[in-house]
Amino acid sequence: MSQKNFYRRRTLAARLTKLITQVAVGSAAASGVFLTASRRTGKSTFAREDLMPALEEAGAIVLYADLWKDLTTEPGAVIVETVREAIERDEKLMSRLAIAPGLEAVSVGRVNFNVNKIGLGKEVGLTKAFEALSDEAKKLIVLIIDETQHAITTNEGVAALFALKAARDELNSSKHYGLRIVCIGSNQNKLAMLRNSSDEAFFGATMVHLPMLDRDFIDWYHKELDLPYDLAPSDIFQLFEESGYRPELLSAAADGIRFDLPVDPESTLVRFAELVRAQAEELNANLKTVIHSLTPIQSAVICVMGAKGEGFAPFESSTMELYAKAIANAGIVTSEPRVEVLDVQLALIALQEKKLVWKTSRGVYSIEEQMIVDLLREDGLLDDLV
219 close to 213: Cβ distance less than 8 angstroms: no
pLDDT in tens, 136-190: 889 999 999 999 999 999 999 999 999 999 999 999 988 899 999 999 998 888 8
**pLDDT at residue 104 is higher than 50:** no
Please indicate whether residue 264 or residue 324 has the higher confidence score (pLDDT): 324
59 close to 139: Cβ distance less than 8 angstroms: yes
Q: Is 179 exposed, middle or buried (0-12, 13-18, 19+ CB in 10 A)?
A: buried
What is the reported pLDDT for 110? 38
Over residues 330-340, mean pLDDT? 70
Note every long-range contact of 372-377, with CB atoms under 8 Å and residues 24 or more positions apart, other chains counting: 372/287, 372/291, 372/302, 372/306, 373/306, 375/284, 375/287, 375/288, 375/291, 376/291, 376/302, 376/303, 376/306, 377/306
Report the alpha-carbon distance of residue 327 to residue 28 in Å, rounded: 46
Q: What is the mean pLDDT of the chain?
A: 87
DSSP 3-state assignment of 181?
strand
Report the alpha-carbon distance of residue 338 to residue 327 in Å, rounded: 10
Where along the chain do its domains lie? 10-209, 215-290, 294-378
117 close to 100: Cβ distance less than 8 angstroms: no
- The phi and psi torsions of 358 (rounded to 5 degrees) equal -125, 145
Q: Which run of H or E residues covers position 65? A: strand 61-66
**Record: fold of 294-378:** Arc Repressor Mutant, subunit A (1.10.10)
**pLDDT at residue 107 is higher than 90:** no
Q: Is 71 exposed, middle or buried (0-12, 13-18, 19+ CB in 10 A)?
A: exposed
Q: Which run of H or E residues covers position 19? A: helix 10-21
Residue 381: which of 314, 311, 304 has the closest Cα? Answer: 304
Q: What secondary structure does DSSP assign to 206-242, as a single string?
A: EEEEPPPP-HHHHHHHHHH---SS---HHHHHHHHHH
How does residue 24 score in pLDDT terms, banded at 50, 70 and 90? low
How does residue 346 score in pLDDT terms, banded at 50, 70 and 90? very high
**Record: fold of 10-209:** Rossmann fold (3.40.50)
- The phi and psi torsions of 200 (rounded to 5 degrees) equal -100, 160
127 close to 166: Cβ distance less than 8 angstroms: yes
Report the alpha-carbon distance of residue 284 to residue 310 in Å, rounded: 23
Please indicate whether residue 329 or residue 115 has the higher confidence score (pLDDT): 329
The pTM for the full model equals 0.86
Over residues 253-268, mean pLDDT? 82
How distant is the alpha carbon of residue 380 from its chain centre? 29
- Any bridge partners for residue 35, and if so which? 184, 208
What is the reported pLDDT for 25? 58
130 close to 167: Cβ distance less than 8 angstroms: yes
Note the helical H segments in 225-295.
Answer: 233-242, 247-258, 268-292
Over residues 314-326, mean pLDDT? 93
What is the percentage of the chain residues whose pLDDT exceeds 90?
A: 53
How does residue 265 score in pLDDT terms, banded at 50, 70 and 90? confident
Q: Give the angle 361-28-30 at the CA atoms, nearest 5°.
A: 80
Which amino acid, residue 262? P
Report the alpha-carbon distance of residue 132 to residue 122 in Å, rounded: 15
Q: Give the angle 9-12-14 at the CA atoms, nearest 5°.
A: 105
143 close to 180: Cβ distance less than 8 angstroms: yes
Over residues 1-7, mean pLDDT? 64
